[in-house]
Amino acid sequence: MPARTILLYPHQTLKEVCRSVSAFDADLEALIRDLVDTMRAGPASVGVAAPQIGVPLRVCVVDVSASKLGKDNNHGLLVMVNPEITLREGAAVMREGCMSVPDYTGDVERATDITVRFQDGDGAAHEIEASGFEAVAIQHETDHLDGMLFLDRITSLKTGLFRRKKYK
């Protein structure tokens, strides 16, 4: 499947709380393929959530394995359906960007260690612990499912938001 168009802020779908997935069927399988293809086509993308391509369902994908920040500490490609972060520990501020907000980056405080429960594309339940950059990426993508953007979590709009010099 080809990569899908990313919705840009302030598109209303990006602010919606997404519906849970109940049908693990061919439509979900196609959505997951589209999310993976879209993530891989994006510049330096390590994740994408269904609402970013206009689908208000609780589905996202994360893969930090090709990133210099995540290559040594990751679970590979994570397909997360109905994810729920059940534990957050530690805190650190990192610079985040988003394909839905291509002109800006921002300093966001996130948990450094998380536990997340989710289903895969077949409906099987999983629970993993993630840390570092992978934990940040998972939190970023699950925020999308709750209608939140990194802009909503910037530490300071005055000093924590930056115009991107070059999007690559």
The catalytic site residues sit at 141
Neighbouring residues of 148: CB distance < 8 A, sequence distance ≥ 6: none
Task: Find all residues with CB under 8 Å of 124, minimum gap 6, and list them.
Answer: none
Q: How far apart are CA 129 and CA 117, in angstroms?
A: 9
Q: Which residues contact 10 (CB under 8 A, 6 or more apart)?
A: none
- CA atoms of 18 and 30, how far apart (whole Å): 18
In angstroms, the Cα distances linking 142 to 1, 42, 59, 159, 166 are: 23, 18, 8, 25, 26
Gap between the Cα atoms of 84 and 116, Å rounded: 6
